[in-house]
Amino acid sequence: MSALNLTEKILKDHLVEPAELPAAGDLIKIKIDEAFTQDATGTMTMLQLEAMGIDRVKPLSVNFVDHSMLQSGFRNPDDHEYLRTVAAKLGIIFSPPGTGICHFTNMENFVKPGMTGVGADSHTVNAGGAGAIFMGAGGYDVALAMATGMYTMPMPKIVKVNLTGKLAKNCMAMDVILKMLEIVSVKGGKGIIFEYAGPGVKTLSLTERATITNMGAEMGATTSIFPSDENTKAYLESRGRGGDYKPLAADADAKYERVIDVNLSEIEPLIAIYSSPGNVEKVKDHAGTKIHQVCVGSCTNSSFENIATFAEALKGKRVKVDTMLYPGSRSVAMQLADAGYIKMMYKAGVRIMENGCGACIGQGGSPPSGGITLRTFNRNFPKRSGTDDAQAHLISPLVAAMSALSGVITVPENKEIKINVVPPVIDTDSFIMPEKASKTEGIIRGPNIMALPDFEPLPDVVKGEVLLKLEDNISTDDIQPAGTFLPLRSNVKEYAMQATFRLVDGTFSKRAVEHRDAGGSGFIIGGENYGQGSSREHAALCPRWLGIRAVIVKSFARIHVANLVNFGIVPLTFKNAADYDKIKQGDKASFDASNLSGELTLVINGETKIPLEAAFDMDVISTLKAGGALPHFKSTYKG
């Protein structure tokens, strides 16, 4: 048998169809070992799972609560109660608010080398740090994985990242992934699994590896993976899970699509400048810039080692700007306390916040007007911080500490920071296991849990108006902002009316609904990498509710295109990118959808003909025709 890389080994092990791994781009169906949601995507996922008529989930499944935890009013607590009780009914583990960020808590407790998983959150790829193939997906696809234990995806291209050397003392894993973003860009990872290998791998701990795989989401990658080795073993043993360890690596002469060489010794402290994780520059080129806030945490950088390094750098000193810490999990917070770091950070003036996403998703922690905030997070899209005219730059926890102390962007000195390593605190008691959950309570649906909307099939001719024309790199934060709107995630109508494209064009929702109610179908035109960022299916669901039936762009981000199909919006790309310039907002548009496998043409104002290409796979045509995945599932699933 020919030599295999690590990705091929795991995919082969889980392959259901076809019999052999096909060429890149062809669809594969794989067995899924774990599926999970978080609260912001979870309520819709669970509503869809219920609508599928499933009694019990097939793979290991978890509902985490970590995004929307402020509970200011009934909405969040209603969502949490629904997620808890639906979990008990369907055999899903429930991770209550305060337990930790989904990806973090997942790594601590459930991920094993060689596993496959999908999660309703783009940073599910975090688990690749432990030698597993985990991917972000829309809520419907996660519900389907829970129901069937399977996931269908295009066979990825596999790119090797050959790590050599060792990081300088003033660099951290965050600098490695920022370096990758500089090399690959925010859209260069599409359709790719990055497989890290080479002698540099052993210099990185498991949580450092997870920082790197986590933020692989920002390259648009399918996922990223590290081998499973002695460092993986050490992590699992430290958590009392030594039995979950197995060594895994690519065969020596495995083949790859291409190889990217990264010499860790040559990396300098890096910073992603507002407003894209892809705007990577050297910290030294921004040294001295005044800052107003520092935030440490998020699923990218909230391990014990990350926060202990941050705390040690502050030891005996006092921060000059508002500085907030969000520990990755209750387990990490307790370990920090045992090591004396919680007190050290309080004494340094740090505000210690809840274990969860917090400021990363705009749930509090907004910077002041016009301010500059430094964040150890993974996204700095416009307005995501909650302050429209503030700027967020992304940095390592070490740069965060030194800059918090000086009040200006600061390059850390190249000297060793020793941390006090104490054993992790195991926190499995926080979970509500389905076998222990109440059997009599039933599913609790407070008034915030709205029924799923019903959507009609696709008409043969889609006719209406171009309601919005957009630029390149439109993120799902632009389409369907999160932050203070998160409590509306379970209420499609309100979320669509109040938030869809609000940050781009405040008139959009009203115009779209009027157009829809007058019988028109809405069209959206966009540039490259449309739908980058989050996996939130609301960025398809809400536009669909507002009457959008086709999105035509130069190129799409991976997860978003699947979400559009799932909600019956036809995703199309221009055959000739230059045709983008021939269309204006407000133009009349029509599109013959009767034969989606044939020639596809957009007609503008009854005369200009624009050739299009399908951005969907041919085998989802019946889904599109049915008006979306759920109506299609209900009519075809045999159990």
By CB under 6 A, name the binding residues for ligand MIC: 40-41, 67, 121-123, 136, 361, 379, 482, 533-536
Where do we find the tokens 């050739």? Answer: 611
Candidates 21, 17, 26; CA nearest to 5 is: 21
Q: How far is the CB of 486 from ligand MIC (least distance, A)?
A: 8
- Binding residue (CB under 6 A) for ligand SF4 from 62, 197, 357, 600: 357
CB-side neighbour CA atoms (13 Å) of 209: 30
Q: How far is the CB of 242 from ligand MIC (least distance, A)?
A: 31
Our CB check for ligand SF4 shows the closer of 218 and 244 to be: 218
Our CB check for ligand SF4 shows the closer of 67 and 286 to be: 67
**201: partner contacted, choices ligand MIC, ligand SF4, none (Cβ within 5-8 A by kind):** none
Our CB check for ligand SF4 shows the closer of 38 and 555 to be: 38
Q: How far is the CB of 272 from ligand SF4 (least distance, A)?
A: 14
List all residues 6 or more positions away from 607 whose beta carbon is below 8 Å from its beta carbon: none
Query: Are 61 and 34 spatial neighbours (Cβ–Cβ below 8 Å)?
Result: yes
Our CB check for ligand SF4 shows the closer of 159 and 296 to be: 296
Give the pair of three-digit tokens for residue 341: 């770091």
**536: partner contacted, choices ligand SF4, ligand MIC, none (Cβ within 5-8 A by kind):** ligand MIC
Report the C-alpha gap between 449 and 492 in whole angstroms. 10
Report the C-alpha gap between 465 and 603 in whole angstroms. 11
Binding residues for ligand SF4 restricted to 55-84, rule: CB under 6 A: 67
- Binding residue (CB under 6 A) for ligand SF4 from 332, 360, 486, 539: 360
Q: Are strands 372-375 and 391-394 parallel, antiparallel or unpaired?
A: parallel
Residue 298 interacting with ligand SF4 (CB under 6 A): yes
Our CB check for ligand MIC shows the closer of 113 and 358 to be: 358
- Binding residue (CB under 6 A) for ligand SF4 from 228, 303, 373, 378: 378
Give the pair of three-digit tokens for residue 516: 């829809």
List all residues 6 or more positions away from 260 whose beta carbon is below 8 Å from its beta carbon: 159, 160, 161, 162, 180, 183, 184, 194
Residue 500 interacting with ligand SF4 (CB under 6 A): no
Q: How far is the CB of 487 from ligand MIC (least distance, A)?
A: 12
Q: How far is the CB of 201 from ligand MIC (least distance, A)?
A: 26
Binding residues for ligand SF4 restricted to 88-147, rule: CB under 6 A: 101, 121, 123
Our CB check for ligand MIC shows the closer of 200 and 533 to be: 533
Interface segment toward ligand SF4; rule CB under 6 A; list 220-228, 272-280, 356-364, 599-607:
356-364
Our CB check for ligand MIC shows the closer of 46 and 283 to be: 46
DSSP per-residue letters across 466-503: EEEE--S--BHHHHS--GGGGGGTT-HHHHHHHHTTTT
Residue 157 interacting with ligand SF4 (CB under 6 A): no
Report the C-alpha gap between 484 and 480 in whole angstroms. 12
Q: Which amino acid is at 439?
A: K
Q: Is 486 left (phi over 0), alpha (psi -120 to 50) or beta?
A: alpha
**41: partner contacted, choices ligand SF4, ligand MIC, none (Cβ within 5-8 A by kind):** ligand MIC
Integer CA distances (angstroms), 62 to 38, 45, 422, in order = 8, 12, 28
Interface segment toward ligand SF4; rule CB under 6 A; list 16-24, 357-365, 432-440, 539-547:
357-365
Query: Are 489 and 41 spatial neighbours (Cβ–Cβ below 8 Å)?
Result: yes
Q: How far is the CB of 275 from ligand MIC (least distance, A)?
A: 14
Query: What 3-state class would DSSP assign to 127?
Result: helix
Where do we find the tokens 């054993």? Answer: 423
**152: partner contacted, choices ligand SF4, ligand MIC, none (Cβ within 5-8 A by kind):** none
Our CB check for ligand MIC shows the closer of 137 and 612 to be: 137
Query: Are 311 and 336 spatial neighbours (Cβ–Cβ below 8 Å)?
Result: yes
# of chain residues touching ligand SF4 (CB under 6 A): 11
- Provide the β-strand partners of residue 34: 60, 117
**298: partner contacted, choices ligand SF4, ligand MIC, none (Cβ within 5-8 A by kind):** ligand SF4
**625: partner contacted, choices ligand SF4, ligand MIC, none (Cβ within 5-8 A by kind):** none
Q: How far is the CB of 301 from ligand SF4 (least distance, A)?
A: 9
Report the C-alpha gap between 207 and 225 in whole angstroms. 13
**101: partner contacted, choices ligand MIC, ligand SF4, none (Cβ within 5-8 A by kind):** ligand SF4
Q: How far is the CB of 67 from ligand SF4 (least distance, A)?
A: 6
Candidates 303, 307, 300; CA nearest to 324 is: 307
Q: How far is the CB of 486 from ligand SF4 (least distance, A)?
A: 10
Our CB check for ligand MIC shows the closer of 79 and 244 to be: 79
Q: How far is the CB of 115 from ligand SF4 (least distance, A)?
A: 19
Candidates 277, 291, 295; CA nearest to 359 is: 295
Report the C-alpha gap between 202 and 204 in whole angstroms. 5
Candidates 223, 486, 448, 177; CA nearest to 362 is: 486
Report the C-alpha gap between 72 and 229 in whole angstroms. 45
Centroid of chain to Cα 206: 20
Our CB check for ligand MIC shows the closer of 303 and 534 to be: 534
CB-side neighbour CA atoms (13 Å) of 363: 21
Our CB check for ligand MIC shows the closer of 214 and 521 to be: 214
Q: How far is the CB of 303 from ligand SF4 (least distance, A)?
A: 13
Report the C-alpha gap between 522 and 526 in whole angstroms. 13
Q: Which contiguous run of DSSP H or E holds residue 563?
A: helix 558-566
Q: How far is the CB of 378 from ligand SF4 (least distance, A)?
A: 5
Neighbour tally for 130: CB within 10 Å: 29
Residue 299 interacting with ligand SF4 (CB under 6 A): yes
Where do we find the tokens 């020919």? Answer: 2
**554: partner contacted, choices ligand MIC, ligand SF4, none (Cβ within 5-8 A by kind):** none
**535: partner contacted, choices ligand MIC, ligand SF4, none (Cβ within 5-8 A by kind):** ligand MIC
Q: Which residues bind ligand SF4 (CB under 6 A)?
A: 67, 101, 121, 123, 298-299, 357, 360-361, 377-378
